[in-house]
């Protein structure tokens, strides 16, 4: 009987086009709390409708920005962890075509991974809700800290918001199209640290399977897709992904 780690390594060795789909569980080992882990998840502390929805933001930017600044500060000081680094290593072995991430923390890019699609935007930018102008997030933080509780655009005076997707906001069609292409072209999808409850991400493993791709999941908690996956590991990403990648590297180097 092969171990689950060996099984995922074998799936990686056998696949031609591999995509990783990452969620907030990818960032917890860098000190960024996720949303739905029992006991520690953000949504056990605050109600997303009140603090992270587009409606609540427009009606009370200050209240929402207080909360977002706290989350933002954890993100800005975070460093890539063993999991992010293992994905970059896999990419260097030519065994990872791209990364679809729900995270807004930029940690895949900080770890020098390529072809990263940020489905939910990024914490590092602000966007004007009026004209769409993009600013570095520091502009918004400076304005907010100097008492501008409704930070406005220098070009059109529209309200600025962090360039991350809030609840109640649609995802960008360009991003969705890119993600669709990744899913359609892959023959192995590796889900890392996502509860798979937020759409469209929850749909991607189903879509990949329907197109005959293999599915591997590494997530501490169970997900609704576990029963359909080829391999599921309920462990921390940082504890297993580096072992898997080292195994793949060894096999490639030994020419198997
Ligand atoms: N780092 C970030 O940028 C960040 C942080 C919080 C939330 N989010 C947002 O979370 C939303 C979607 O939910 P989601 O599915 O990404 O997160 P989620 O909180 O719903 O699920 C995270 C999952 O990861 C698992 N997990 C936690 N730490 C893990 C680890 N070290 N190894 C393996 N599994 C681990 C948990 O068991 C949980 O099932 C997105 O909208 C995303 O934008 C992003
Ligand atoms: Zn503007």
Which atom of ligand 1 has the smallest separation from the CA of 104?
A: 3
Asked whether the whole model's pTM tops 0.85, one would answer: yes
Q: Which residues contact 47 (CB under 8 A, 6 or more apart)?
A: none
User: What pLDDT is stored for residue 34 in this prediction?
Assistant: 81
Q: Strand 160-164 relative to strand 188-192: parallel, antiparallel, unpaired?
A: unpaired
CA distance 236 to 250: 22
From 23, 122, 196, 223, give the residue whose CB has the most ligand 1 atoms within 8 Å, as the site to mutate. 23
Annotated catalytic residue 55: no
User: What pLDDT is stored for residue 163 in this prediction?
Assistant: 97
Half-sphere exposure of 38 (CA within 13 A, CB side): 3
Strands (E), 62-176: 98-101, 116-118, 121-128, 134-136, 160-164
From 33, 35, 169, give the residue whose CB has the most ligand 1 atoms within 8 Å, as the site to mutate. 35
From atom 19 of ligand 1, which residue's Cα is the shortest distance away? Answer: 35
Question: Alpha carbon of 44 to those of 38, 48, 76, 133: distances in Å?
Answer: 8, 10, 23, 34
**Helix (H) / strand (E) containing 218:** strand 214-218
Tell me how crowded residue 70 is: count the other CB atoms within 10 A of its CB: 11
User: What pLDDT is stored for residue 256 in this prediction?
Assistant: 63
How far, in Å, is the centroid of ligand 1 from the Cα of 178?
A: 21
Per-residue pLDDT of the chain (256 residues; tens, 9 = 90+): 579 999 999 999 999 999 999 999 999 999 998 887 788 777 777 787 788 899 999 999 998 898 888 889 999 999 999 999 999 999 999 999 999 999 999 999 999 999 999 999 999 999 999 999 999 999 999 988 898 888 999 999 999 999 999 999 999 999 999 999 999 999 999 999 999 998 899 999 999 999 999 999 999 999 999 999 999 999 999 999 999 999 999 999 998 6
Print the SS3 string covering 9-63.
HHHHHHCCCEEEEECHHHCHHHCCCCCCCCCCCHHHCCCHHHHCEHHHHHHCHHH
CA distance 94 to 89: 9
User: What pLDDT is stored for residue 241 in this prediction?
Assistant: 98
**Active-site residue identified among 108, 120, 234, 256:** 120
Residue 249, φ and ψ in degrees, nearest 5: -60, -45
Q: Give the number of whichever ligand sits closest to the CA of residue 35.
A: 1
User: What pLDDT is stored for residue 103 in this prediction?
Assistant: 97
Helix axes 4-14, 237-253, angle to 10 degrees: 50
51 class by beta-carbon count within 10 Å (0-12 exposed, 13-18 middle, 19+ buried): buried
Tell me how long the chain is: 256
The maximal CA–CA distance of the chain, rounded, in angstroms, is 64
How far, in Å, is the centroid of ligand 1 from the Cα of 120?
A: 12
User: What pLDDT is stored for residue 11 in this prediction?
Assistant: 98
Q: Which residues contact 255 (CB under 8 A, 6 or more apart)?
A: none
């Amino acid at each position: 009987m092969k171990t689950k780690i060996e099984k995922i390594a074998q799936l990686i060795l056998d696949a031609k086009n591999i995509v990783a789909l990452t969620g907030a569980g990818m960032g917890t080992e860098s000190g960024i709390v996720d949303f739905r882990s029992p006991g520690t998840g953000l949504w056990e502390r605050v109600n997303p409708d009140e603090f992270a929805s587009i409606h609540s933001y427009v009606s009370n930017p200050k209240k929402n920005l207080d909360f977002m600044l706290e989350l933002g500060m954890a993100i800005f000081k975070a460093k890539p962890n063993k999991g992010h680094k293992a994905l970059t290593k896999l990419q260097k072995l030519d065994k990872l075509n791209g990364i679809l991430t729900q995270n807004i923390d930029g940690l895949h890019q900080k770890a020098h991974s390529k072809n990263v699609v940020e489905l939910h935007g990024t914490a590092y930018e602000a966007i004007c809700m009026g004209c769409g102008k993009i600013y570095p997030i520091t502009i918004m933080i400076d304005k907010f800290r100097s008492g501008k509780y409704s930070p406005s655009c220098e070009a059109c005076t529209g309200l600025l918001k962090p360039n991350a997707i809030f609840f109640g906001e649609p995802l960008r069609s360009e991003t969705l199209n890119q993600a669709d292409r990744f899913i359609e072209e892959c023959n192995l999808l590796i889900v890392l640290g996502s509860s798979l409850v937020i759409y469209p991400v929850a749909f991607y493993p189903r879509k990949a399977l329907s197109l005959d791709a293999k599915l591997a999941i590494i997530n501490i908690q169970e997900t609704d897709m576990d029963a359909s996956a080829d391999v599921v590991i309920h462990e921390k990403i940082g504890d297993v992904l580096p072992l898997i990648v080292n195994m793949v590297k060894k096999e490639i180097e030994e020419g198997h």
